[in-house]
C-alpha cells in the first residue's frame, strides 16, 4: 500500500470557493466584488427567509414559538461567532443603532475624553461629534495607521476608544489584540465597529478585551439588511442605559399587565419592541453557514483574494490605497488610476458583469471567499 505525501494531500483538498459555489447563485450572473457594500444573500439565508415568508402567508403567527426559538438561536450563533455568551448579545437593526446605544447610553460628564479615528465610516464618527456638542465630551482624533505607542498615550485617562475592525475604504485591519490590551490596561471602554470584518475574519471578544461590538449582517456575514447584533460585555451592561425604551426592554415583558420597569438581566435590555423576525431567520442561517465553513479558513481565502486584487491592479498601473500587509490586510482593496474617473471604471466593469463600487475617487473591490482566483484574474485583465 502506498502513502499519500503531504503535497498530494494538500492538493486534494477542495478549495472553499469550489466546495460552496452552489450556495451563491449570484456567481451565475456576476463576479461580485462588492461585499463591503451589500452582499448577496447566501443560499441558506435566502431559503430560511423564504420558508418563514411562506409560513406566515399560510398560517400567520400560529408558529410564533418557532420565531422565539430563532431569536434565541441567533443569539447563540452570534455568540459562537465572536466568542461571547448569548446573554451578551442584543438583536438590533444595524451597526449604527448598536454604536448609538453605547454612545448615548453611557453616563457622560463634561470633560470626558473619547479616542476616535479620522478614517472611520460616519456611523463611527457622528455619535462622538454629537457628544462634543451635547455632553461636553472631548474627542481626540487619531489615524488608524498611528503607532501603538501613540494610541497608548491617547488612552491615558480616556473614557472610551472606538475603532473599526476593518476600515471601510482602505481595508486596513486593526490590531485588536494590541489595542484591546491597551484599553484594558488604561481602563478605557473598548468599542468595535465590526461590520467590515465580521464573517470574513475570526473574532474573539474575550481575547481582545472588547467591551462592546456592533455589526449589521448584510456585508461579510452574507445575511439580510436591517438585522444585526450588538455585543455588550456582561460586566458593562449596568453602565449602559437603553436609549430606546419599550415593552421588551424589561424583565417581565411577557406579562402585558405588568408595570415593573426592571430591565432584563441580559443584553436583551437593549431590544425595544418587535424584532425583525424575517431578518433574524436570515441572519441566523447565514451565521450558521459561516460557522460550518469555518471563519478561520474564510479569512485566509479572503486575504489571498485581496492580495490578488492588489498585486494585479498594481501590475496594471493602478495605485493602491494604504500599505497592505499580511497583518493589516483584509477583503477590501481600493484602487485608482491617475486621470481616470473611478465611476467610469466601475461602469466599465459592470457592463462586463463585474460589480465593484466607486468610493471617494477610488474603485473599491471586496471579494468574499466564494469568488475564485480565476475570476480575480479576469477582473484584472478587464481593468481599463
Residue range 293-316: average pLDDT? 98
pLDDT at residue 233 tops 90 = yes
φ and ψ at 253, to 5 degrees?
A: -65, -20
Query: What pTM value is reported for the model?
Result: 0.95
Q: Which of 269, 273, 271 has the alpha carbon at shortest distance from 239?
A: 269
- How does the average pLDDT of the chain come out, rounded? 96
User: Count of alpha carbons within 13 Å of 179, Cβ hemisphere only?
Assistant: 27
CA dihedral sign of residues 95, 103, 168, 349: positive
Query: Per residue in 117-162, pLDDT tens?
Result: 999 999 999 999 999 999 999 999 999 999 999 999 999 999 999 9
pLDDT band (50, 70, 90) for residue 1: very low
Residue range 40-60: average pLDDT? 98
Q: Do 172 and 328 touch, CB atoms closer than 8 A?
A: yes
- How many residues can be counted in the chain? 384
**CA 368/CA 225 separation, integer angstroms:** 17
Amino acid at each position: 500500500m502506498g502513502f499519500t505525501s503531504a503535497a498530494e494531500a494538500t492538493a486534494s483538498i477542495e478549495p472553499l470557493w469550489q466546495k460552496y459555489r452552489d450556495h451563491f447563485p449570484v456567481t451565475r450572473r456576476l463576479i461580485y466584488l462588492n461585499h463591503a457594500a451589500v452582499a448577496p444573500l447566501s443560499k441558506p439565508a435566502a431559503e430560511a427567509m423564504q420558508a418563514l415568508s411562506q409560513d406566515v402567508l399560510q398560517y400567520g403567527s400560529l408558529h410564533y414559538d418557532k420565531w422565539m426559538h430563532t431569536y434565541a438561536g441567533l443569539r447563540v450563533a452570534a455568540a459562537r461567532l465572536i466568542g461571547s455568551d448569548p446573554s451578551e448579545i442584543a438583536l438590533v437593526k444595524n451597526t449604527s443603532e448598536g454604536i448609538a446605544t453605547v454612545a448615548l447610553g453611557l453616563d457622560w460628564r463634561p470633560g470626558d475624553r473619547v479616542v476616535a479615528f479620522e478614517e472611520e465610516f460616519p456611523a463611527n464618527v457622528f455619535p462622538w461629534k454629537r457628544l462634543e456638542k451635547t455632553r461636553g465630551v472631548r474627542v481626540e482624533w487619531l489615524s488608524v495607521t498611528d503607532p501603538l505607542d501613540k494610541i497608548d498615550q491617547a488612552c491615558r485617562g480616556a473614557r472610551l476608544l472606538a475603532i473599526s475592525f476593518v476600515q471601510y475604504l482602505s481595508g486596513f485591519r486593526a490590531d485588536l489584540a494590541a489595542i484591546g490590551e491597551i484599553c484594558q490596561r488604561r481602563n478605557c471602554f473598548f468599542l468595535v465597529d465590526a461590520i467590515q470584518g465580521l464573517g470574513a475574519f475570526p473574532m474573539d471578544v474575550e481575547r481582545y478585551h472588547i467591551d462592546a461590538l456592533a455589526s449589521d449582517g448584510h456585508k461579510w456575514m452574507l445575511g439580510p439588511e436591517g438585522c444585526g447584533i450588538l455585543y455588550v460585555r456582561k460586566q458593562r451592561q449596568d453602565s449602559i442605559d437603553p436609549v430606546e425604551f419599550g415593552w421588551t426592554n424589561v424583565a417581565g415583558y411577557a406579562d402585558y399587565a405588568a408595570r415593573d420597569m426592571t430591565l432584563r438581566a441580559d443584553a436583551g435590555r437593549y431590544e425595544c419592541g418587535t424584532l425583525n423576525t424575517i431578518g433574524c431567520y436570515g441572519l441566523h442561517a447565514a451565521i450558521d453557514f459561516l460557522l460550518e465553513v469555518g471563519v478561520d479558513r474564510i479569512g485566509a481565502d479572503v486575504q489571498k483574494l485581496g492580495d490578488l486584487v492588489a498585486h494585479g491592479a498594481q501590475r496594471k498601473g493602478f495605485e493602491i490605497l494604504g500599505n497592505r500587509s499580511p497583518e493589516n490586510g483584509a477583503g477590501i482593496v481600493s484602487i485608482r488610476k491617475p486621470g481616470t474617473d473611478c465611476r467610469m471604471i466601475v461602469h466599465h466593469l459592470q457592463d462586463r458583469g463585474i460589480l465593484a463600487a466607486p468610493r471617494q475617487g477610488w474603485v473599491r473591490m471586496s471579494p468574499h471567499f466564494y469568488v475564485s482566483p480565476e475570476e480575480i484574474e479576469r477582473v484584472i485583465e478587464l481593468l481599463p
